[in-house]
Structure 1
Amino acid sequence: MLRSRVKHALLQLGFSASPIDLAKASSLIRDLRPVKTKIPLVRIGGNNDGAYLVPDDLEGVAALFSPGVAESAAFEEYFADLGIPCYLADASVEKASVNHNLFHFEPRYLGIFNQDPFTTLDAWINRHAPGNSDLILQMDIENAEWGVLANVSEENLRRFRIIVIELHAMDRILDSAFHRDVMRRLLQTHHVVHAHPNNSSPIITARGVSIPPLIEMTFLRKDRAEVTGHATHFPHDLDIVNVPGQPEMHLPRNWYA
């Protein structure tokens, strides 16, 4: 916690252990601005942390992959109740918090190699959903998402019609080409359709560029999206506060049109 606070304070002053590239970070943020499509967003997972805004485009989805098991499984239950199999993975718990006949749990962490207790996203998909059917990915895995997204095959990345991620250390796009490249990779195949800062971490502003270090982002594959413009209203009417009792945190103005 202390290390994080020190890093935050230094970034606010414009200092970093690695060189900051404001031009590349700002360019990426412009490309990450959420777009509007003809598909409405719906809230899935209730009214607490762990619920997300998702495009109402679920018909024909073959499976949900959801690494990182939380106390609530309301998000996954929604899909299971629609008849969509849900694959959950987390080595820090013994089982999913809720029983459902369409829940398939593995006590593994998602990572960049296949060796217990880790599995790659490609291996996980190939075990349970081989083929070319559309999938959904919902991922909150405490900073491991960057390596996972960098290493998943192009073929499997394109299978995800919808991707919902809680991105940790998003401020690294200021000083890390790797983090910027991961986001650029996603943008090749998907549009950002929603972004919502988690209010458990304060927004970092470095030399006038504001970045939520912890942010929920929803992506929709480009072939599913008829874009009508950029979203201009934040927070979304369906957004909620992640941590009740703490001040609500809005998406910085430089993140939307």
Structure 2
Amino acid sequence: MKPSSRKSQKPIAISLGVSENSPWDLEMAELGFSVREYDGSIANSPYPTHPNITFHKKFIASYDSDSTITLESVLRDNRLVSTQENILQVDIENAEWDMLKNIDMKILAQYFTQVIFEFHGCNPEEEQGFHHRITQLQRLNDFFTPIHLHFNNHGKIFYSKGLFFSTTLEVSYCNHKIMRNLKTNEKREKGVLQDLDYPSWISNPEIPIRFAQKQSLKL
């Protein structure tokens, strides 16, 4: 690919984990992103005729095969341009932890300005699993700053010391390089954010965010 054509390339939104209704993918495509969907559990994209959406029937795994692909291969195959504002969305039902374990975080930071995860199995009672997960979160925090947290209200819910907690967390991150350039003060909101937070399961009440104490962001 010639340098001039790479410079004019659309930003890419990688969507790992697709369902029969994936509004995030559609919204990103409508915004002009080139959306690349990956999921082995469905036959086709929920938006098969959209010109900005390409679907791949493959699961994300730690090896490449006819039905699986690694995140590293996804990045290589899609020829991302590091100067574009690419975004990664991950909702792969607990497979995200091994995916993170097997990827160099510097590569994610090189190609993505934002990464969005639905983290599964975040149960602090499971000591062995907890340490595995917290290790990957710490590695991710070395290059990205969490900018938004939402509790998924469809699944296992905890109540402890007056606070509710979900084992499934929806977290949006921004690249440290972007955060440094913003030059804005930390703004911490609690509860349910209007026009930003929406229930994962419409018939269940939202779980409000509460912070025990204020902590400074370290970039």
TM-score relative to the length of structure 2: 0.81
CA contact under 8 A between 1:66 and 1:137: conserved in structure 2? yes
Cα distance, 1:240 vs structure 2: 1.5
Gaps in structure 1 of 5+ consecutive residues: 1-59
- With over 3 angstroms needed to count, the CA separation of the structure-2 counterparts of 1:174 and 1:223, relative to structure 1, is farther
- With over 3 angstroms needed to count, the CA separation of the structure-2 counterparts of 1:71 and 1:188, relative to structure 1, is same
- Asked if 1:247 corresponds to 2:205, the answer is yes
- Asked if 1:212 corresponds to 2:166, the answer is yes
Which structure 2 residues correspond to residues 1-257 of structure 1 after superposition, within 5 A? 62-99=11-48, 100-133=50-83, 134-158=85-109, 159-172=111-124, 175=127, 176-205=130-159, 211-225=165-179, 226-238=183-195, 239-254=197-212
Cα distance, 1:189 vs structure 2: 0.7
Residue aligned with 2:142, SS: helix
CA contact under 8 A between 2:191 and 2:210: conserved in structure 1? no
Distance of 1:131 and 1:137 partners within structure 2: 13
- With over 3 angstroms needed to count, the CA separation of the structure-2 counterparts of 1:183 and 1:245, relative to structure 1, is same
Percentage of pairs with the same residue: 21
Cα distance, 1:86 vs structure 2: 0.6
Residue aligned with 1:254, SS: coil
Cα distance, 1:163 vs structure 2: 0.9
Tell me how large the CA RMSD over aligned residues is.
2.4
Residue aligned with 1:253, SS: coil
Aligned equivalent of 2:3 = none
TM-score relative to the length of structure 1: 0.69
Distance of 1:213 and 1:252 partners within structure 2: 15
Gaps in structure 2 of 5+ consecutive residues: 1-8
CA contact under 8 A between 1:204 and 1:210: conserved in structure 2? yes
Distance of 1:62 and 1:138 partners within structure 2: 14
Note the alpha carbon deviations across 1:98-136, whole angstroms, 9 max, x for none.
Answer: 121121111100111112311111101100124424421
